[in-house]
Structure 1
């Protein structure tokens, strides 16, 4: 970025730099990150301070995000962008399945060691599953949860599952230790999607793919759940491919850069 960039572009650059920093930065640090001259950086920060977007800590000679930036962040959550952007994609997945195929498409997020389901769309032949909106299930057992866990750093997975008491058994199938979970996550990373067969409810399977933000962090997952007796191996593969495409599209919609993997 140069001093010739539009003021709005430079202001957004300041917000982005401060948001990604572990703490407040000096004006020189902000300027260096954006490639701006010292004088331009100071005038930009001063103008943004007047509007509440940044705050100056004079004793530390540093700058941080201001209350207006916080208000915008809170408003972002109220607008539910993830759910609004995902809903038409889930509806499309259901429509692709056809009227005669019982299937549910859902959007889930990690909530500690659990998968929290935010959205669900079903075919005209609905299926009764436990993954309803608002329900939480063990992330280590659900395809939706493991799709996200597989994209987390190893240390973060270990922090979530420090010992055997962190694991839950619902049907006698599924990982019950950290080594077992790690092996399963690696297999699913290689596969390109997570798959759950009877770990949550006997007779039902799911496939899921992580949705990632502009920092490539997993923020959600798109999953498909279906009865075992109506899905052949070929159909499972097609459903997984559809979930991969939908998750990639949602990732792009929320800001993940093209080519990021």
Structure 2
């Protein structure tokens, strides 16, 4: 877990507002669910009025979001963009590439590693198996998270309030093949099944005739850092073997990230 930053620094910061903003972001990143502004002020020892002003400014730029019904605050999509940028540049892709390559070699199917970017997944590692169908999951490609196994694996690891903020209405669900969840209620049911199984699936929701399984990779704070997935065509595959291999690869990558 990310440690709380509730103690005052030994040297007074030269830019107090910037220091307080970063402390709030760090605090929210270490929480498993959104929290009340009063709790942020109490735990960080900050004036409540300052916390509200800073949260409003961060919300305007997408770094936090306000769950009005619950009167709580959580990380916004811009914070995930920063995390994704770091992941793309350094440890995640570097550590994940040999594991994803080994997974593809072992199964003889295409495998990939993706991170969340707002309501999309962004592919950062792609290993194409020989003589397998062409995929749309090249490195740098974005796809709607709710349609992909990778995205569902990560969405299921987010607090439900965070998912609700990403998918508030039926208009939040772009479509590719006419298959897949189209309302918040349908997505909640899909993610409930993912949590119960411990892995995600999709069938012809990204491309006709292609299926995938995916498993989440969590960071030290328990947030979904990435997801490992395998894609194949048709039914002539032992899906249980794929599931076991994908989950084992995700667990290995998670362990290496936590070292």
TM-score using structure 2 length: 0.69
Match of 1:92 in 2: 102
Ranges of 4+ aligned residues in structure 1 off by more than 4 Å: 57-60, 62-66, 75-79
The equivalent residue for 2:182 is: 176
Q: For residue 173 of structure 2, what is the aligned residue in structure 1?
A: 167
Do the aligned residues in 2 keep the contact of 1:194 with 1:209 (CA within 8 Å)?
A: yes
Q: How far apart are the structure 2 equivalents of 1:154 and 1:238? A: 30
Larger radius of gyration: 1
Match of 2:204 among 170, 185, 198: 198
> Relative CO higher for 1 or 2, CA cutoff 8 Å, sep ≥ 6?
2
- Change in 2 beyond 3 A, CA 1:112/1:78: closer
Q: Is the Cα contact below 8 Å between 2:88 and 2:124 reproduced in 1?
A: no
Q: For residue 8 of structure 2, what is the aligned residue in structure 1?
A: 26
CA pair 119-150 structure 1, distance change in 2 beyond 3 A: same
- The size of the alignment, in residue pairs, is 197
In structure 2, what is the Cα distance between the partners aligned to 1:203 and 1:84? 31
Question: What pairs up with 1:134-173 in 2 under 5 angstroms?
Answer: 134-173=140-179
Q: TM-score, normalised by structure 1?
A: 0.68
How far apart, CA to CA, are the structure 2 residues paired with 1:211 and 1:59? 35
Please report how far the alpha carbon of residue 94 of structure 1 lies from its aligned counterpart in structure 2 after TM superposition: 1.2
Deviation at residue 137 of structure 1 after TM alignment: 0.7
The superposition leaves residues 189-229 of structure 1 with CA deviations (integer Å, 9 ceiling, x where unpaired) of 11110000111111100000011011111011001001124
Structure 2, unaligned stretches of length 5 or more? 24-82
Note closer, same or farther for the CA distance 1:63–1:197 as it changes in structure 2 (3 Å cut): closer
